A and B are shown apart, each in its own frame.
Chain A
Amino acid sequence: MSEHAHHKETFVTKYIFSQDHKMISKQFLITGLLMGIIGIAMSLLFRMQLAWPGESFKIFEVLLGKWAPDGVMDANIYLALVTIHGTIMVFFVLTQGLSGTFSNLLIPLQIGARDMASGFMNMLSYWMFFLSAIIMVGSLFIEAGPAAAGWTIYPPLSALPQAQPGSGLGMTLWLVSMAIFIASSLMGSLNYIVTVLNLRTKGMSMTRLPLTMWALFITAVIGVVSFPVLLSAALLLIMDRSFGTSFFLSDIFIGGEALHYQGGSPVLYEHLFWFLGHPEVYIVLLPALGITSEVIATNSRKPIFGYRAMIASILAIAFLSTIVWGHHMFVSGMNPFLGSVFTFTTLLIAIPSAVKGFNYITTLWKGNLQMNPAMLFSIGMVSTFITGGLTGIILGDSTLDINVHDTYFVVAHFHLVMGISSLYGMFAGIYHWYPKMFGRMMSKNLGYVHFWLTLIAAYGVFFPMHFIGLAGLPRRYYSNSAFPLFDELQDTNVVITIFALLAGFAQLFFLWNFFRSMFYGKKATQNPWKSNTLEWTTPVEHLHGNWPGEIPHVHRWPYDYSKTNEDGEYVIPGQDFVPQTIPLQDGEEEMNH
């Protein structure tokens, strides 16, 4: 392997149709960021509508054109914006944008491999992702507008063009885009699984893997288990829409006539959707948890507390995540007994989550915390993960869900636990591995401003949202002005929107920092964060094949930070970390073996 084929590289094979995992990772990241800009901009638009319903804004007219006549947002485009915002953030930013970036960058580097198992499939995975992104964004520009049935696209609303304008061509494009997206995700995931299982360097046993690897590996497994089910749901929906089948439809009277559909059930669709939909939450979350584990350990200069318990929690969460989907369907009309079962499994998942939370906190205890931006975002991630996770105890309880289901309480909950937590995890990953990706450093001071503004603004958006949910305000409402009862929520809605605008503003610091540092950032040193893991043994300049000589061998777990011998001296004198490549010293015992 050490003599890697040095074929000639052209601009096209190096930057576009590259099969090198590091380049593909950058492609995923930049595509994900661009999608993120679109997704967050959309949320700002519909938040403005919620704070000042029916108000005329020049910016609506400019951006939405005919859907905002005289600058007043139309109800259909409101729903479309919410739908595409949700779809983009969940799938394009936090699934492929996050997993795609860091699985690609880190798996070969952290396990000690020259590249992914199949570079070609990896390249294909990216290009299908790109294609699906193009189709999704393209659907914004069609005559009748994009899909608007919510990111969950429940039929019959999504199945019948008569039901809303977005269910015509817009929905077709949404489904096509998602089908391609799923193919992309599956190809990526299979590749990650095979690579982690087969290509680990000598000495890299599964119990010496950094937690990032465990998280990304299990994420891929969950993806392979659950994404095909979403694909089948999408295919059946396409059949219902275009070929007159009745998988999800029955007894419908719309637009003045009864339709022929008979015997299908929308509830079946809900089961299929959430069979992916819930695991999806963990597909989004686990990579972020893995990244923060790594970043917190490195920057605390301490081992992650409870390495084995962390792995056990990841496994438990992964398993449980596939049997809790019904908590999204307590009031769907399914058998109440099933509701009881899903309540039980759902509350079980709180246990491994609690273990993870406590382990993070204990890792900080008596540490020597290096407040790099990545560390700050990791701490922020633990904070929002706890805040959002706790309200899960309410939503997972079928009884309590009756009255808060589909209200803003849910919007607050899932944004904190999944959206914001994963986003923070992603930011942590970017700040931490930027030197590895681009060979330059991002500005820490801009990072601090970005972090503190984002932390404050995000809580300012989502904390008050719980209360308007408890006041009974349903989500996906274009305006609250149809109910005098909700008049007194208006002030709070304004507060939320102002914080949202501030959150959006804060991201400009990040974008500036990100793109500027690519060209003008300080040159990175080989191991800027004094980390133990293998990726920091590769040269700063990217090589095809990663290591110039032989791949290093691994002799210990990755968390020997501040480890001392009997005399209380660091294992390597004058250095508080012991990279995985350093053999055990005389009399030294390895942790966790």
Chain B
Amino acid sequence: MTTFLAIIVLVLVAIAIWQMSKIFELSQAHTDNSEVANDKDNKLNGYLMFGFLAAFYIFMIYGVFKWGPLVLGTPASEHGDDYDFLMTMSMVLIFFVQFLTQGLLFFFAYKYKGQKGKKALFYADNDKLEMIWTIIPVITLAGLILYGLFTWTTIMDVNSEDEDPMVIELYAQQFNWKARYAGQDNTLGEANVRLIDIASSNILGINEADPNADDDVIATELHLPVGKKVLFKMRSQDVIHSAYMPHFRAQMNCVPGMITQFSFTPTVTTEEMRADGGIVEKVERINDIRAEKRANGEDADPYEFDYLLLCNKICGQSHYNMQMKIIVESEEDFNAWMKEQKTFAASMGKDDSSNGEMAQSEVFISDDEASIIGVN
């Protein structure tokens, strides 16, 4: 790697030096001395245009092979396949147009480099051509828009009744994440940051008087049963954060004062993903790097693949390290894990759901109201 870099740098420096020697030579040779391009300049830069075009093509193709494997790989959610299909289509289209137009641009720049006495073609207009390059983008884009909008509507249609998604709250704060499961009743207890009571460890501001809250479960790892649709309700207590789950092709901002939502169905368990060909290679590459780091005395434990929830909206000093592990597992494993978790009622030390009186009831936004705010 370092040698590769060294080579790049050397090549570039060489180009610079070669250019500068050219300068020297030119400034000696030509007589007009006017700082306006002459035939020699046109020729030199024309050839450089051609050279650049070739280098640019090579660079782009090399880039796709060199950096292409860095991308995320197999999607882990139901809509992920649609997403990746649309992405691949768009990328292919883009690369095609990119190669075509850059080719024309730099080739023309080379081909028509100026020469004293040459006559340019006076060619000011052609309605037919203008039509062609209006209509072709129109048709292509119409296709992309239609397909994109269709996918978008499907992904964002979080409220489809028939699937009865499992409700989970994602709760963001500087600089960590919590997940709150809705429990047996699949209904989250009401909550508002004004109810946060650090002393009694009601850290999410859940209304203790709401019976729906009793069976809620708060966790610092996000466990998801495979094949079950999940409806995330996002909340933030301080600044805007963004719940970014790249392997699931999922992202939604968490905005203080409102509840936002996103839903998807995880389709690949963590175990299965660890065995995925692309991921196996990726993990190997990463572990090679980490082994090298260890050899240099840095602490870098061997890496094992896990899904992640990252913060993707600038939120302050530790924005770069605001993460939560996601574990997708079989339904049995999920249930077993869930059993071990304390319910909210248990963690608050109350056993029956009827105690406690309603306090400050005006400040709650009920879940339903809030989600209306959220979608509008």
Q: Taking the nearest CB of chain B, how far is it from the CB of A475, in angstroms?
A: 8
Report chain B residues within 8 Å CB of A264. 257
The 6 tightest CB contacts between A and B, nearest first, are A250-B257, A333-B260, A472-B246, A467-B67, A336-B156, A441-B35
Q: Once the chains are docked, how many angstroms separate the CA of A559 from the CA of B174?
A: 58
Q: Which of B138-146, B209-217, B266-274, B335-343 lies at the interface with chain A?
A: B138-146
Q: What are 26 A-B residue pairs whose CB atoms fall within 8 Å in the complex?
A: A75-B317, A251-B192, A264-B257, A265-B255, A300-B120, A307-B124, A309-B130, A333-B374, A340-B152, A361-B108, A365-B112, A398-B148, A399-B82, A399-B148, A400-B87, A403-B250, A403-B251, A406-B312, A444-B37, A452-B19, A456-B15, A457-B12, A459-B59, A464-B67, A470-B70, A525-B34
Which stretch (B42-50, B179-187, B222-230, B351-359) binds chain A? B42-50
By beta carbon, the residue of chain B nearest A333 is B260
Chain A residues 322-353 with CB under 8 Å of chain B are 331-333, 335-336, 339-340, 343-344, 347-348, 350-351
Query: Are A448 and B19 also in contact (CB < 8 A) when A258-B196, A307-B124, A369-B46 are?
Result: yes
Asked if A393 contacts B105 (CB within 8 A), the reply is no
Q: Please, which residues of chain B bring their CB within 8 A of the CB of A406?
A: 242, 244, 251, 312-313
- A-side contacts of B22, CB under 8 Å: 445
Known A366-B121, A393-B94; judge A522-B35 contact (CB<8 A).
yes
Q: Number of B residues contacting the other chain (C-beta, 8 Å)?
A: 139
Whether A249 contacts B257 by the Cβ 8 Å rule is yes
Contact A397 B63, beta carbon cutoff 8 Å? no
- Residue in B71, B234, B257 with the greatest tally of chain A CB atoms within 10 Å: B257
Are B240 and A489 interface neighbours, CB within 8 A? no
**Taking the complex as formed, is A197 at the interface, i.e. its CB lies under 8 A from any CB of chain B?**
no
Interface string of B280-293 (1 = CB under 8 A from A): 00100110011001
| B201 is an interface residue with CB less than 8 A from chain A | no
In the complex, chain A residues 81-111 whose Cβ is within 8 Å of any chain B Cβ: none
With A154-B240, A448-B45, A467-B70 in contact, is A368–B148 under 8 Å at CB?
no
Docked-complex contact A495 and B5, CB < 8 angstroms: yes
The answer to whether B134 touches A351 (Cβ under 8 A) is yes
Q: B97 at the A/B interface (Cβ < 8 Å)?
A: yes
Is A468 interfacial (CB-CB < 8 Å)? Answer: yes
Q: List 9 extra interface pairs beyond A251-B256, A332-B255, A351-B134, CB under 8 A.
A: A252-B238, A306-B129, A331-B251, A333-B253, A368-B119, A370-B114, A399-B86, A463-B59, A487-B286
CB distance B130 to A350 under 8 Å? no
- Contact, CB under 8 Å: A391 / B152: no
B205 close to A (CB within 8 Å): yes
**A136 close to chain B: CB less than 8 A:** no
Known: A367-B120, A402-B250, A445-B23. Contact between A361 and B282, CB under 8 A?
no
Residues 98-136 of B, flagged 1 when their CB comes within 8 A of A and 0 if not, give 100110111011001111001111111110011001100
Report A234-265 CB contacts with B as 1/0, cut-off 8 Å: 00000000000000011111101010001111
B203's nearest neighbour on chain A, judged by CB, is A253
Contacts of B194 in A (CB 8 A): 251, 253, 258
CB-defined interface of B310-329 with A at 8 Å, one 1/0 digit per residue? 11111111111101000000
Name the contact of B105 in the complex, choosing from A75, A263, A386, A480 (C-beta under 8 A).
Answer: A386
Chain A CB within 8 A of B170 CB? no
A495 touches B98 (CB 8 A): no
Measured in the bound complex, the distance between the Cα atoms of B256 and A160 in whole Å is: 13
Who on chain A is nearest to B154 by CB? Answer: A399
Q: Are B314 and A149 in contact (CB under 8 A)?
A: yes
In the assembled complex, the CB of A369 is this many whole angstroms from the nearest CB of chain B, namely 5
The reply to whether the CB of B239 lies closer than 8 angstroms to some CB of chain A is yes
- Give chain A residues whose Cβ lies under 8 Å from the Cβ of B119: 368, 562, 564, 576
Residues of B within 8 A of A463 (CB): 59-60, 63
Kindly list chain B residues whose C-beta atoms are within 8 Å of the C-beta of A581: none
Main SS at interface, chain B: helix
Q: Does A471 contact B (CB under 8 A)?
A: yes
CB distance from A370 to the nearest CB of B (A): 5
Contact B260 A561 (CB under 8 A): no
Asked if A301 and B114 make an inter-chain contact with CB atoms under 8 angstroms apart, the answer reads yes
**In whole angstroms, what is the CA distance A366 to B124 when docked?**
12
A163 touches B316 (CB 8 A): yes
Q: Using an 8 Å CB-CB cutoff, how does the interface string of A444-481 with B read, 1 for contact, 0 for none?
A: 11101100110111011001100110111010111110
Given A333-B258, A405-B251, A483-B308, do A468 and B70 touch, yes or no (CB 8 Å)? yes
B375 within 8 A of A: yes
B234 to chain A minimum Cβ distance, whole angstroms, is: 8
How many angstroms from the CA of A592 to the CA of B198 in the assembled complex? Answer: 74
Q: Does B376 contact A (CB under 8 A)?
A: yes
Per the bound structure, the CA–CA distance linking A563 and B55 in Å amounts to 36
Interface residues of A in 348-387 (CB under 8 A from B): 348, 350-351, 354-355, 357-362, 364-372, 375-376, 379, 382-383, 386-387
B1 within 8 A of A: yes
Q: Does A305 contact B (CB under 8 A)?
A: yes
Tell me the minimal C-beta distance from B255 to chain A in angstroms: 5
Could you give, for residues 288-309 of chain B, a 1 whenever the CB lies within 8 Å of some chain A CB and a 0 otherwise? 0110010000001101010010
When distances are taken between beta carbons in the complex, the residues of chain A under 8 Å from B141 are 347-348, 350-351, 393
Note all chain B residues with C-beta closer than 8 A to A489.
70
- Which of A303, A456, A487 meets B290, CB within 8 Å? A487
Residues of B within 8 A of A442 (CB): 35
CA distance A443 to B83 in the complex (A): 51
Chain A nearest CB, measured from B2 CB (Å): 9
**Interface 0/1 of B61-79, CB less than 8 Å to A:** 0010001101110000000
Residues of A within 8 A of B (CB): 75-76, 79, 149-150, 154-157, 160, 163-164, 249-254, 256, 258, 262-267, 300-309, 331-333, 335-336, 339-340, 343-344, 347-348, 350-351, 354-355, 357-362, 364-372, 375-376, 379, 382-383, 386-387, 390-391, 393-394, 397-400, 402-403, 405-407, 441-446, 448-449, 452-453, 455-457, 459-460, 463-464, 467-468, 470-472, 474, 476-480, 482-485, 487-492, 494-495, 498, 502, 521-522, 525, 528-529, 559, 561-564, 576, 591-592
CB < 8 Å neighbour of B375 from A335, A347, A376: A335
Chain A residues, CB < 8 A from B44: 371, 448
The answer to whether A576 touches B120, judged by C-beta atoms less than 8 angstroms apart, is: yes
| CB <8 Å contact, B257 and A305 | no
Decide: A391 and B134 in contact? CB cutoff 8 A. Answer: no
B41 lies within 8 A of chain A by Cβ: yes
Distance of A457 Cα from B48 Cα, bound (Å)? 15
The distance in angstroms between the C-alpha atoms of A407 and B149, with both chains bound, is 22
Chain B minimum-CB-distance residue to A354: B137
Contact: A354 with B133, CB < 8 Å?
Answer: yes
B33 contacts A522, CB within 8 Å?
yes
How far is it, in angstroms, between the C-alpha of A172 and the C-alpha of B165 when the chains are bound? 45
Contact B313–A488 (Cβ < 8 Å): no
Known: A365-B112, A478-B319. A470 touches B102 (CB 8 A): no
Min CB distance A207 to B, Å, is 13
A360 to chain B, nearest CB (A): 8
Q: Are A492 and B134 in contact (CB under 8 A)?
A: no
CB of A399 within 8 A of CB of B155, answer yes
B188: A residues at CB distance < 8 A: none
**Which chain B residue shows the least CB distance to A405?**
B251
Chain A residues near B138: list those with CB within 8 A.
351
B94 near A391 with CB under 8 A, answer yes
For residue B346, CB closer than 8 A to chain A, the reply is: no
Q: Is the CB of A522 within 8 A of B374?
A: no
Q: For residue A400, which residues in chain B have a CB less than 8 angstroms away from its CB?
A: 83, 86-87, 90, 148
CB-based contact A478/B23 at 8 Å: no
A contact residues around B237 at 8 Å (CB)? 251-254
Report B-chain residues with C-beta under 8 Å of the C-beta of A443.
Answer: 35
Pick from A362, A382, A394, A576: contact of B129, CB below 8 A.
Answer: A362
Contact with A along B1-19 (1 / 0, CB 8 A): 1000100110010011001
Contacts of A335 in B (CB 8 A): 375-376
Closest to A517 in B: B35
The answer to whether B334 has its CB under 8 Å from any CB of chain A is no
